[in-house]
Amino acid sequence: MSQQKISLTRYLVEQQRADGHIPGQLRLLLEVVARACKRISQAVNKGDLGDVLGSAESENVQGEVQKKLDIIANEVLIEANEWGGHLAAMASEEMDSIYVVPNRYPQGEYLLLFDPLDGSSNIDVNVSIGTIFSVLKKPEGHPGVQEADFLQAGAKQVAAGYCIYGPQTTLVLTVGDGVAMFTLDREQGSFVLTKENIQIPADTKEFAINMSNMRHWDAPVKRYIDECLAGSEGPRGKDFNMRWIASMVTDVHRILMRGGIFLYPWDKREPGKPGKLRLMYEANPMSWLVEQAGGMATNGRERILDIEPGKLHERVSVMLGSKNEVERVTRYHDPL
Ligand code: P6P
Q: Which residue type, as a one-letter code, is found at position 292? A: Q
Q: Quick check: 3 pLDDT over 80?
A: no
Are residues 247 and 188 part of one domain? Answer: no
Are residues 240 and 214 part of one domain? Answer: yes
Contact 109/137 with Cβ under 8 angstroms? Answer: yes
Assigned domain for 3 exists = no
The confidence score (pLDDT) of residue 206 equals: 98
Q: What is the pLDDT of residues 232-290, one digit of tens each?
A: 999 999 999 999 999 999 999 999 999 999 999 999 999 999 999 999 999 999 999 99
Categorize the per-residue pLDDT at 169 as very low, low, confident or very high, splitting at 50, 70 and 90: very high
Q: Quick check: 2 pLDDT over 60?
A: no
User: Rounded to whole angstroms, how far apart are CA atoms 187 and 13?
Assistant: 22
CA–centroid distance, residue 247 to ligand 1 (Å): 6
Are residues 134 and 43 part of one domain? Answer: yes
- More reliable by pLDDT, 160 or 15: 160
Q: What is the dihedral of CA 41, 43, 47, 50, to 10 degrees?
A: 160
Q: Quick check: 127 pLDDT over 70?
A: yes
Residue 38 in 3-state DSSP? helix
Mean pLDDT of 198-203: 98
Average pLDDT, the chain: 94
- More reliable by pLDDT, 4 or 197: 197
Assigned domain for 1 exists = no
Residue with CA at minimum distance from ligand 1 atom 11: 246
Assigned domain for 50 exists = yes
Are residues 27 and 176 part of one domain? Answer: yes
End position of a domain, from candidates 155, 171, 195: 195
Are residues 213 and 151 part of one domain? Answer: no
Residue 66 in 3-state DSSP? strand
Assigned domain for 250 exists = yes
Query: CA 159 from chain center: how many Å?
Result: 11
Mean pLDDT of 71-80: 96
What are residue 65's DSSP bridge partners?
59
The confidence score (pLDDT) of residue 18 equals: 81
Q: What is the pTM of this model?
A: 0.96
What are residue 163's DSSP bridge partners?
131, 171
CA–centroid distance, residue 116 to ligand 1 (Å): 14
Are residues 248 and 149 part of one domain? Answer: no
User: Of 121, 286, 316, which is best to mutate to test ligand 1, by the most ligand atoms within 8 angstroms of its C-beta?
Assistant: 121
Mean pLDDT of 97-113: 97
End position of a domain, from candidates 134, 166, 195: 195
Are residues 294 and 191 part of one domain? Answer: no
Number of domains composing the chain:
2
User: Of 60, 92, 118, which is best to mutate to test ligand 1, by the most ligand atoms within 8 angstroms of its C-beta?
Assistant: 118
The confidence score (pLDDT) of residue 1 equals: 44
Q: Quick check: 335 pLDDT over 70?
A: no
Are residues 38 and 130 part of one domain? Answer: yes
CA–centroid distance, residue 245 to ligand 1 (Å): 8
Q: What is the CATH number of the domain that holds 130?
A: 3.30.540.10
Assigned domain for 200 exists = no
Mean pLDDT of 75-104: 97
Q: What percent of the chain has pLDDT over 70?
A: 98
| Domain assignment of residue 63, given as a range | 8-195
Residues within a 6 A CB radius of ligand 1: 118-119, 121, 210, 246-248, 264, 276-277
Are residues 305 and 229 part of one domain? Answer: yes
Least reliable range by pLDDT among 65-74, 204-213, 247-256: 65-74
- More reliable by pLDDT, 188 or 154: 154
DSSP labels for 147-207? GGGG---GGG-SEEEEEEESSSEEEEEESSS-EEEEEEETTTTEEEEEE-S----S--SEE
State how far the alpha carbon of 274 is from the alpha carbons of 122, 248, 280, in Å: 24, 17, 14
Residue 71 in 3-state DSSP? helix
